[in-house]
Amino acid sequence: MSRVGMNPVSVPEGVSVTIADGEITANGKLGKLSYRFVEDVDVAMKDGLITVMPKSDAKHVLNMWGTTRSRIFNLVKGVDEGFSVNLEINGVGYRAAVEGKKLILQLGYSHNVDFPIPEGVTIKCAKPTEITVLGANKQQVGQVAANIRSFRKPEPYKGKGIKYVDEYILRKEGKKK
């Protein structure tokens, strides 16, 4: 049994949800998102709660039961509150700035790295060494943050590079004489 799939998803005020033809659509203050779920699960809405139930006891159906419930929860939470990922830049001369629809990164290369900000994602730089990625789609926000981090991953000797705020970099000892 899926422990995740058993829990219903509550729909907050200000979010409208429609279920039709194997697709669920959530509309809220941060936009509109939809998810096409598999035919092996039943999705129903009653009294502001969305329930997901499997149609059989096959292994792949039970696997998709919890996955579908998690995707629907992220859909509803995304259009209501949104998701954010915080990145931190460490290193002398390393900094970031948002100019229009581009994120300009100075990461110790001979040139600046220009990262175009995709639709549906907002990037803010409160300080030159802090980047916040915001958006309604959890997968898209995480992917954009991973792409930004990939320009200069943190190295283990001094910790220079772009890292997640809650990430711990395992430090290595330098060479000895």
Res. 177 pLDDT band, cuts 50 70 90:
confident
Instruction: Tell me what pLDDT residue 98 has.
Output: 96
- Give the model confidence (pLDDT) of 135-167 as tens digits: 999 999 999 999 999 999 999 999 999 999 999
Are the C-beta atoms of residues 129 and 88 closer than 8 Å to each other? yes
83-164 CATH pick, 3.90.930.12, 3.40.50.300, 1.10.10.10, 2.40.160.40: 3.90.930.12
Instruction: Tell me what pLDDT residue 3 has.
Output: 81
- Give the model confidence (pLDDT) of 85-112 as tens digits: 999 999 999 999 999 999 999 999 999 9
Query: Which residues of the chain form CATH 3.90.930.12?
Result: 3-80, 83-164
Mark residue 159 as left, alpha or beta (left: phi above 0; alpha: psi -120 to 50; beta: remaining).
left
Residue 28, CB-side half-sphere exposure with 13 Å CA sphere: 22
Task: Report the CATH number of the 3-80 domain.
Answer: 3.90.930.12
**In DSSP terms, which residues pair with 96 in a beta bridge?**
105
Contacts of 30 (CB under 8 A, 6+ apart): 78, 79, 80, 81, 82, 136
Res. 176 pLDDT band, cuts 50 70 90:
confident
Alpha helices in the chain (DSSP H): 3-6, 59-80, 138-149
Mean pLDDT score, 10-32: 92
Average pLDDT, whole number, for the chain? 93
Instruction: Tell me what pLDDT residue 27 has.
Output: 94
Instruction: Tell me what pLDDT residue 1 has.
Output: 62
What pTM does this model have?
0.89
Question: Three-state SS for 112?
Answer: coil
